[in-house]
Amino acid sequence: MRFGILGPLQVSGGESTVTAGRDRVVLAVLLLHAPQVVPVDDLVDAVWEADPPVTARGQLQTCVSRLRRLLVAAGVPGETIVTGPAGYRIVLGPDDLDAYRFERLVAGARSAVAEQNWPEAREGYRAALALWRGPALAGISGHAVRRGAASLDEQRMLAMEDSFALELRLGGRSGDLVAELTELVERHPLRERLRGQLMLALADSGRRAEALAVFRAGWEILTGELGIEPGPALREVHRRILAGEVEPADEEPEPRSPVRALPRAIEDFTGRHETIARLRKEIEEADPSFSAVHVIDGMPGSGKTALAVHLATALGAAYPDAHLFVDLHGHSLHSPLPASTAVGTLLRQLGVPGERIPAGLDDRLALWRTELASRRVLLVLDNAASTAQVGPLLPAGPGCLTVVTSRRRLVGLDGVRAQSLTVLEPAEAVDLLARIAGPERVRAEPTAAEEVVRRCGYLPLAIRLAAARLAHRTRWRVADLAQRLGAPDRPVLAEFAVEHRTLADAFALSYAQLPEPVQRTFRLLGVRPDVQFDQYACAALTELPLAVAREHLDELVDAHLVDEVDAGRFQLHDLVREYVSELVTVVGGAPARRQALQALLDYYLHAAASVSHVLEPNGNLQLAIPGQPARPELVAVAVQRGQDWLEAERRNMVALVQLAVQEGLYRYAWQLARANWRQLYLGGHLDELIQTHTDGLRAAEALGDDAGIAIMHNYLTSAYFRLGEFQRSLESLRVVIAIWERLGDVAGRSVATVNLGLPLVMLGRTREAMHYLELGLELARQTPGWHAMPGALTNLGSVYLGLGRYSDALRVLRHRLFLARQVGKIAVVADTVGSIGGVYGRLGQRDRALRYMSVALRIQRARGNPFAVADLLNEIGNVERRCGRPEVAAQRHREALVAMRDAGDRAGECTARNLLGRAMLDLGDTTAALDLHRQALLGATKIQTPYEQARALDGLAHCLRPTDPAAARSYWTRALALLIQVDSPDQHEIRRQLRELG
């Protein structure tokens, strides 16, 4: 450990390394708050408290500089203390601070107690407490340090109390504990738990009278000094000692509750007796050295989930470590839950912190298997879509049980037991009806009861819906229910038929009991896509006042026709959805259905446009989507929520674009796609962006709307570009340019011409890109607005930078910065400042470059632009590496790689991998560097970006030069050809490397 604060301040094992009083305070405060940034003002307050001098900030900088020199002398890297815009922070590894190790050891000991692993718990507590060398940060005064030190001292006392409780629980050492506990109680007379533990140790050692005397002394102190009685826990210890029934096990540390994530088992679960008995027998007799897997499949409504949860609850005691549950959404109108998302959910249920869960599927699965390796876990995977979805999630360790439910037979799963559910037996179905509606009523009318369950198709879900209605209508007879279920004019769901029986009877009864206005609301819910919705969407769809729409939703929730899946978020059950989709056409008719859909689309369109306008305020969006909303009060609520609303409603809007095309509402389709573009783009939802804008393009083409066609193509190119499909970007942009030229729109043509330069650059066609960028800039100068100018200048600056023309790059970027500051465009300012920082980095002005890029990074993070953030992190990392800080560089490139991967930017991933590879090579990890460069080469070759291919080849050559110069020469020769092709100045360095090889 490099630093010690569990006692006097220690650096690399010595207590005299830092002797100056102010230096010790600064270092102590940084360590207490690691790894957070400590603002300069807080450090000034800690050092000088109420009376800082005018030169406090300058003196603080001197303290930090002196500390860095002292740390280097003690063998600690000087960059351990990092300067930031707001203050300072200390960068520590997991084993660099004794307080970190203490925290881990105590947490491990407490986990061991929860698992009743007593030897491991005892060893953990002893190792943790052995780290303490005295009071925390002893010898350093000042309120800020003492507050933090007091918190550490309190953690020590809690750990000591837990350790004593464990020793008392295990027994055999009570006599040894008395002396230590006596001293602690004298020093901490108000800690009642310690006093109780001393009493137990004395009583267990046969010193009952002394134990009672300890209580009396405590009572006198508490009542005399504080005026309070001893607490109930201490009084209970006193009572038990008096009664001669002391059991130290009562003082056992409270174990952590094992994970119990199963849904509540249905209290009135009925039937399936033979199935349950067979499953229990198979599970209980299974070989414990293997992980058992049972699949329950069957038709919708057959009670698969209820059976799985009932079975899991009954068998839970045999799996003490965890009971886990996840809905895989395999058979709903949701997309099936990806295996990566599912295993992330399960890891969180196990208590794994979010920051420990890797991003990639393979790494998540490795962590999942590790977590289960020593646990007996019961896992329910509900509503599975396929073998491929379930397979990766199955535990590999022995002694686990997995129950899978699915509407499909998962025949591809090897080594599993399958159970297909049919409908209930007639007697079981009547029993279920009786348990919900009331046994006396049902037994009084056996024939009617048999007719009800027959009409319900003997399916549990249908019976439950019908019986719940009967239970709430106390004046109905069972025959009344049977008559309503058998009404000849009822709607039918043929796809859910079991011979001549259907589920629609139960839904029709629930619908018939609604007041007519609520019936209309329920019907119109069948118009919208099957995605979660809120009261505002319901009000727009039904054209009702918000308060009325909310009342209707409440009544539908009470009738079990709508589920409130989260506070204020609603959804129709799959089967109810099928029913209401048919009902809205049968009862309402096509005109009412179309009017409702138009009202819903109008709300989403104007809400999305209004929120997105704040995110892209250049006026383009308003030009594409003119007009006013029909429900401005609903749109206003969306605007208040801002980007959160866009994200919450994203799936709705994707589905609505598709629905609008299907229904022939073409203008809504392409305009809604455009309104949602920025959220999809910045959120990295590139597949959804392509889907919505492709649908929008079809709609614009159906209308013959040239402007709409150009707009859809223009924004499709943004996704194609990020996915590395540069040729498709070129094709779409040429369509856009041709349309704007035909329509005489110089501004639109200028933007598209500028955008055309980017894929050309990525494809290595640099000179051609220069032509289009300069042409786009000239066109932009002909427009009254300025919005095309920044893009042209930025892209031109990027090309100059790539060509090594740094003075030209600075010239155009400074021009862009001047324009942006004139009109107050903070996004453009941030983008430009970051680009200028990149130029300074190439010029070797590294401190200046880092200042510029750090400012830009803060702004881009606040704006939520993942592409800009990742680009800046890569540039910063590149400068850090050239400054001789490869560890810092590697961290920046890792962050950039994660951001690019999450956002779906394939070219960006290649860049980050290449730069991370160079940093890893500088750190001496040649194996990791080779792997990164090979991955980058594969990705860059796939998307045909020659510059990143060349960088990958250069990186491979650097890695192999010491051990395989012939291979290095081959790689550098290939890299040189590519760099000549793109006219990159990097070719000169490659030529130098080849000359050195001889």
> What percentage of residues in the chain have a pLDDT greater than 70?
91
Claim to verify: residue 374 and residue 453 sit in the same structural domain: no
Query: What residue type is assigned to position 655 of the chain?
Result: A
Domain boundary pick from 227, 256, 285: 256
Give the integer Cα–Cα distance in Å for 413 and 422.
Answer: 21
Would residue 950 count as lying in a domain?
A: yes
Q: Give the mean pLDDT of 858-883.
A: 90
As a whole number of Å, the CA-based R_g of the chain is 35
Claim to verify: residue 12 and residue 87 sit in the same structural domain: yes
Q: How confident is the model at residue 254 (pLDDT cuts 50, 70, 90)?
A: very low
Could you please report the per-residue DSSP string of 258-275? PEE-PPPPPTT----HHH
Whole-Å CA distances, 26 to 44, 70, 96, 445: 9, 13, 18, 83
Q: How confident is the model at residue 697 (pLDDT cuts 50, 70, 90)?
A: very high
Would residue 882 count as lying in a domain?
A: yes
Alpha-carbon dihedral angle through residues 606, 611, 612, 617, given to the nearest 10 degrees: 110
Whole-Å CA distances, 571 to 485, 560, 577, 773, 934: 25, 11, 9, 49, 47
Claim to verify: residue 235 and residue 364 sit in the same structural domain: no
The reported pLDDT for the residue numbered 501 is 36
Claim to verify: residue 980 and residue 933 sit in the same structural domain: yes
The reported pLDDT for the residue numbered 331 is 58
Question: Can you give the CATH number for the domain in which 12 is found?
Answer: 1.10.10.10
Residue 473: pLDDT above 60? Answer: yes
Claim to verify: residue 21 and residue 81 sit in the same structural domain: yes
Claim to verify: residue 907 and residue 973 sit in the same structural domain: yes
Q: Quick one: which H or E segment has residue 489?
A: none
Among 363-367, 521-525, 822-826, 855-859, whose mean pLDDT is lowest?
822-826
Residue 498: pLDDT above 60? Answer: no
Give the integer Cα–Cα distance in Å for 677 and 819.
Answer: 26
Q: How confident is the model at residue 525 (pLDDT cuts 50, 70, 90)?
A: very high
The reported pLDDT for the residue numbered 880 is 93
The reported pLDDT for the residue numbered 14 is 64
Claim to verify: residue 468 and residue 455 sit in the same structural domain: yes
Give the integer Cα–Cα distance in Å for 140 and 872.
Answer: 41
Q: Using alpha carbons only, what angle is made at residue 685 by residues 683 and 687, rounded to the nearest 5 degrees?
A: 165
Claim to verify: residue 949 and residue 938 sit in the same structural domain: yes
Beta-bridge mates of residue 377? 322
Residue 249: pLDDT above 50? Answer: no
Claim to verify: residue 869 and residue 973 sit in the same structural domain: yes
Torsion 97-100-102-105 (CA) sign: negative
Q: Give the mean pLDDT of 105-127.
A: 86
Beta-bridge mates of residue 11? 3, 14
Claim to verify: residue 5 and residue 143 sit in the same structural domain: yes
Would residue 91 count as lying in a domain?
A: yes
> What percentage of residues in the chain have a pLDDT greater than 90?
33
Give the integer Cα–Cα distance in Å for 324 and 381.
Answer: 8
pLDDT tens sequence across 149-200: 888 988 999 899 999 988 888 876 777 788 888 888 888 888 888 999 888 8
The reported pLDDT for the residue numbered 491 is 43
Among 72-81, 287-296, 541-550, whose mean pLDDT is lowest?
72-81
Give the integer Cα–Cα distance in Å for 65 and 68.
Answer: 5
pLDDT tens sequence across 562-613: 878 788 899 886 657 777 887 887 787 788 899 999 999 999 999 999 998 8
Question: Can you give the CATH number for the domain in which 392 is found?
Answer: 3.40.50.300
Say if residue 35 is preceded by a cis peptide, omega within 30 of 0: yes
The reported pLDDT for the residue numbered 493 is 42
Task: Name the domain count of the chain.
Answer: 6
The pair of structure tokens assigned to 325 is 């549950």
Query: Position of tokens 């933007």?
Result: 751
pLDDT tens sequence across 636-693: 999 999 888 998 999 999 999 999 999 999 999 999 999 999 889 888 888 899 999 9
Residue 500: pLDDT above 60? Answer: no
Query: What residue type is assigned to position 800 of the chain?
Result: Y
The three-state secondary structure class of 503 is: coil
Residue 346: pLDDT above 50? Answer: yes
Would residue 135 count as lying in a domain?
A: yes
Give the integer Cα–Cα distance in Å for 709 and 706.
Answer: 5
Q: Which of 255, 410, 259, 257 is nearest to 346 (CA)?
A: 259
Domain boundary pick from 588, 622, 640: 588
Count of all residues that appear for the chain in the document: 998
Q: Quick one: which H or E segment has residue 579?
A: helix 574-583
Give the integer Cα–Cα distance in Å for 798 and 792.
Answer: 10
pLDDT tens sequence across 439-459: 888 889 999 999 888 877 777
- Burial code (b: 16+ CB inside 10 Å, e: under 16) for 240-276 equals bbeeeebebebbebeeeeebebbeeebeebbbbeebb
Would residue 529 count as lying in a domain?
A: yes
Query: What residue type is assigned to position 962 of the chain?
Result: P
Would residue 568 count as lying in a domain?
A: yes
Domain boundary pick from 460, 493, 512: 512
Contacts from 663-666 at CB under 8 Å and sequence distance 24+? 663/594, 663/597, 664/702, 665/597, 665/598, 665/601, 666/699, 666/700, 666/702, 666/703, 666/705
Residue 255: pLDDT above 70? Answer: no
Give the integer Cα–Cα distance in Å for 198 and 964.
Answer: 70
Helical pair 746-762 and 726-743, crossing angle rounded to 10 deg: 160
Among 695-709, 780-794, 885-899, 955-969, whose mean pLDDT is lowest?
780-794
Residue 354: pLDDT above 90? Answer: no
Q: Give the mean pLDDT of 766-775.
A: 88
Q: Which of 9, 326, 297 is nearest to 145 (CA)?
A: 9
Query: Position of tokens 């030069």?
Result: 961
Provide the domain limits for residue 535: 516-588
Q: Give the mean pLDDT of 764-780.
A: 87
Q: How confident is the model at residue 270 (pLDDT cuts 50, 70, 90)?
A: confident
Claim to verify: residue 415 and residue 271 sit in the same structural domain: yes
The reported pLDDT for the residue numbered 148 is 87
Claim to verify: residue 873 and residue 975 sit in the same structural domain: yes
Among 344-353, 387-396, 589-598, whose mean pLDDT is lowest?
344-353
The reported pLDDT for the residue numbered 495 is 26
Average pLDDT of every residue of the chain: 85
Would residue 720 count as lying in a domain?
A: no
Would residue 743 count as lying in a domain?
A: no
Question: Can you give the CATH number for the domain in which 900 is found?
Answer: 1.25.40.10
76 or 126, which is more confident? 126
Q: How confident is the model at residue 510 (pLDDT cuts 50, 70, 90)?
A: low
Query: Position of tokens 């837990």?
Result: 162
Q: Give the mean pLDDT of 787-802.
A: 74
The reported pLDDT for the residue numbered 253 is 42
- Show Cβ contacts of residue 703 under 8 Å, excluding neighbours closer than 6 positions: 666, 667, 670
The three-state secondary structure class of 377 is: strand
